[in-house]
With several copies, the nearest count.
Chain A
């Protein structure tokens, strides 16, 4: 096991009043950060302070609070751009409503303009529905081909036919980290190989951004999507990073106020830059909360966070191996350092839903289901898994409780 991580979990837990809740009469063990992370007090406070001192609509007012709201909203854009190391942070970040909308924007704008009969988009079998369905919807209209990178027996990406799949492809759109398997994909290599083949690369950073440094410049990404609510930020906002040169060429997505230069009865002229893709009143308080969340995560340090998640993951994998071998299966790489803090568990003869139900009585919050990755579930030959995913507030006690509850589950259904 590694040395004690830099993260002072006891201190971190103080920032999360919600962890003091005991809805089941016992300590709450929140192992569902992969679905949505809890927001720290600082994020909640930033939003409520904004709402109680500053709120105004952005971009169109000259009065003091409107000016300040606009400043905070645009500052959030800069903060996000800086967080992912965009070269032009003010010009390359579009705010959407969630990570899913970011993929829809990508498909319906970039895809609409660039994909047609004979074109190829490469996805992988471990994608979240957010990075599958929008392409299938567009495909129905434009008739390009979608190809899927497979996965190997050890639950990593099967790269053996990558070059073949990329041959003639226009886009590789792929997750950095599987939300089911915890597999961390070699994005830098994939980016280089996609570009070498003449394709662009879009990355689903929903699970990666909360866990490790994602540097779009170093990785040379064309697009990156992620979800603030998984990075200890609020719901109601999502992020699409797109290289400035791509954004400049992309046609509008949703239409309405704020995304236009001019509207006449017979047509409209779209605005430039990220604005073109932000129709209507944007998520202003949410952008303020996102700024606070990224500042919080940066203050803890992503390296310390990664190390902490790795430590928890190793501890959990070892405990399962020691105490539950043959009974509990971990669906994902079990002895790879390239592994995020996501553990999908299955128990022979016990459905994930039932596992989660029993765990709940121990205060353990895990998520049962297909995790919006039905193609992957079919590939794994399972109907559902019970997924534990770690956050900065988890410690080994949490894992011990989960293991205890798994024992009880097995006993009950044996």
Chain B
């Protein structure tokens, strides 16, 4: 049960119950859908990027506490950030979950030290690393973000 409490930290339950930046944006914002085909979770990410900066972001969709809180935490973390900063954050977040860029489990090599402080509230999702099956829930919104940035030509 100790692990379970690490998984379901209070911050996570809070973001799950009260998701931030909920909704969709109108064009010219871009709209990207993400699926987790295994459990049916869905994310709809609206991104408004202006001059290389994410000026607005909204998240819709449905799914488990991990996927939804991760989306909510992400939206709060990237709003106002430059595209470059957001991309860097994707990397750091995945590193926290011991994942490589393509979501392969990172090699046994000593992981590069990550600056958990730089992740802020996102660090609450660290407990997910112990639940391999849930890692896909935590990364759904982040993979959707990467796709959204690619598709919007950023």
A/B: CB atoms within 8 Å of each other: yes
Whether, in the assembled complex, B154 has its beta carbon less than 8 Å from a beta carbon of chain A, the answer is no
Interface residue count on the A side (C-beta < 8 Å): 34
User: A91 CA to B64 CA in the complex, in Å?
Assistant: 27
Q: Which of B111-154 contact A (CB under 8 A)?
A: 131-134, 137
Whether, in the assembled complex, A90 has its beta carbon less than 8 Å from a beta carbon of chain B, the answer is yes
Q: Are A353 and B62 closer than 8 Å at their CB atoms?
A: no
Q: Given A90, A271, A370, A413, which contacts B65 in the complex, CB threshold below 8 Å?
A: A413
> What is the total of A-B residue contacts with beta carbons within 8 Å?
75
- Closest Cβ–Cβ distance, residue A25 to chain B (whole Å): 10
- Closest Cβ–Cβ distance, residue B62 to chain A (whole Å): 4
Q: Which of A14-31 contact B (CB under 8 A)?
A: none
Q: Which residues of B contact A199 (CB under 8 A)?
A: none
- Closest Cβ–Cβ distance, residue A100 to chain B (whole Å): 15
- Closest Cβ–Cβ distance, residue A255 to chain B (whole Å): 14
- Closest Cβ–Cβ distance, residue A101 to chain B (whole Å): 19
Measured CB to CB, the nearest residue on chain B to A89 is B104
- Knowing A70-B133, A357-B7, A374-B40, the reply to whether A261 touches B63 (Cβ < 8 A) is no
Q: Which residues of A contact B65 (CB under 8 A)?
A: 350-351, 353-354, 413
9-residue interface stretch from A57-65, A182-190, A219-227, A324-332 = A57-65
Whether, in the assembled complex, B39 has its beta carbon less than 8 Å from a beta carbon of chain A, the answer is yes
- Closest Cβ–Cβ distance, residue B22 to chain A (whole Å): 15
- Closest Cβ–Cβ distance, residue A284 to chain B (whole Å): 15
User: A384 CA to B102 CA in the complex, in Å?
Assistant: 26
Q: Are A62 and B63 closer than 8 Å at their CB atoms?
A: no
**Additional A-B contact list (19), CB under 8 Å, known A351-B64, A353-B66, A357-B134:** A62-B131, A66-B133, A67-B132, A90-B104, A262-B35, A271-B37, A351-B63, A352-B64, A353-B67, A357-B4, A369-B38, A369-B39, A370-B39, A374-B40, A377-B40, A383-B40, A384-B41, A384-B63, A413-B13
